[in-house]
Amino acid sequence: MGKEKQKKIFFKVIGRKDECLFHEERLLERDIAKSILTCPTNQRDISYREGYEKLHKFLLSVTEGQSIYRGANLQRALWKQFLFSQIVGKNQRALEVGCGEGLLSIALSKNGNIVTGTDVSDICISIANRNKSLFSAENVNFAVMSASKLDFPKNTFDWVISVDLFEHLHPQDAISHVYEAARVLKPGGKYLLVTPNASVGMHAGNIHIKEYNCKEIMELFSHAGFSSKSPLIYYAWPFSFLADIKVKLFFQRFLNNQSFLYILMCLDPIILVATRHGYA
């Protein structure tokens, strides 16, 4: 995603065109990423929490609201979350990691699932609980928690979900998170991952700690005991076609990093459904 597109998205969220605020937000996110990458390992949880508390306070101040999503932006966000919820289906026990303000978790619960949403930010969890009341959502709960240390018993969930989380994790924490996800998933449980595709080129410069390509993601999940497939056409509800992720790797070799074609063929972002191997 180019800088101009990032600006357009930011301006839509805050409700006005303000280059200074965009620059300030970029610098803040860059500093958060730098802090997470350089701080001692035993301080990273604190760095995540403090950084994203500061970012969300800033976003709330510039949107002048109790949530960063309002009006048309809220409707777009809800529609996007509804589409992702169709991949998960119904009657599942689901965990969303990095839930932010809780809109996807709420959409999942509205679709007949029992949902837990976690985030490192107390502010996000507070807003998520407010949204839970606003949308009269049942069967959804929220908790402050690290992505790399999931405080749940093994074999608890049918699905683990993360949307736009991986690119903000320290690479060591990304590995820890995938192993933790495998632990808390039931045998045969699934992980739904949405993250930018590094093969297209960096989407947001140095505000993302690490972006992954399909091969890296496939290897990461394979080492943790998952087999990987990918919704080839994820937006054609009620259909959700699954293809081996190698199909996407095949296409990538011939597209020569053409961003438009990557988006057209659902190669960016990476949308992965990884299934935990069926050991007890």
Q: What is the three-class DSSP state of 86?
A: helix
The residue-averaged pLDDT of 175-193 equals 96
Q: What is the pTM of this model?
A: 0.87
Do residues 190 and 278 touch, judged by C-beta distance below 8 A? no
CA torsion, ordered 7, 213, 42, 148, to nearest 10 deg: 100
Residue 58, phi then psi, degrees to nearest 5: -60, -50
The residue-averaged pLDDT of 217-224 equals 92
Query: Which class for 48: exposed (0-12), middle (13-18), buried (19 or more C-beta within 10 A)?
Result: buried
* pLDDT of the residue at 198: 83
Select from 3.40.50.150, 3.90.550.10, 1.10.357.10, 3.30.70.141 the CATH code of 72-276: 3.40.50.150
The residue-averaged pLDDT of 129-156 equals 96
The residue-averaged pLDDT of 220-249 equals 65
Q: What number of other Cβ atoms are within 10 A of residue 156's Cβ?
A: 16
Question: Does residue 237 surpass a pLDDT of 70?
Answer: no
Query: Is pLDDT larger for residue 90 or for residue 64?
Result: 90
Q: What is the pLDDT of residues 94-124, one digit of tens each?
A: 999 999 999 999 999 999 999 999 999 999 9
* pLDDT of the residue at 230: 64
Give, for 37, the enclosing helix (H) or strand (E): helix 19-38
Question: Does residue 238 surpass a pLDDT of 70?
Answer: no
Do residues 252 and 263 touch, judged by C-beta distance below 8 A? no
Closest CA to 172 of 148, 208, 195, 199: 148
Do residues 9 and 50 touch, judged by C-beta distance below 8 A? no
Highest mean pLDDT among 10-19, 90-99, 257-266: 90-99
The residue-averaged pLDDT of 200-212 equals 78
DSSP at 42: G
Q: Give domain limits for the chain.
A: 3-63, 72-276
Confidence of residue 2 (pLDDT cuts 50, 70, 90): low
Within the chain, what is the greatest distance between any pair of CA atoms? 53
The three-point CA angle 143-97-6 to 5° equals 120
Closest CA to 78 of 94, 55, 56, 101: 101
User: What is the average pLDDT score of the chain?
Assistant: 85
The residue-averaged pLDDT of 62-91 equals 82
The residue-averaged pLDDT of 68-86 equals 79
Q: Could you give the count of Cα atoms lying within 13 Å of 118 in the half-sphere of its Cβ?
A: 20
* pLDDT of the residue at 234: 45
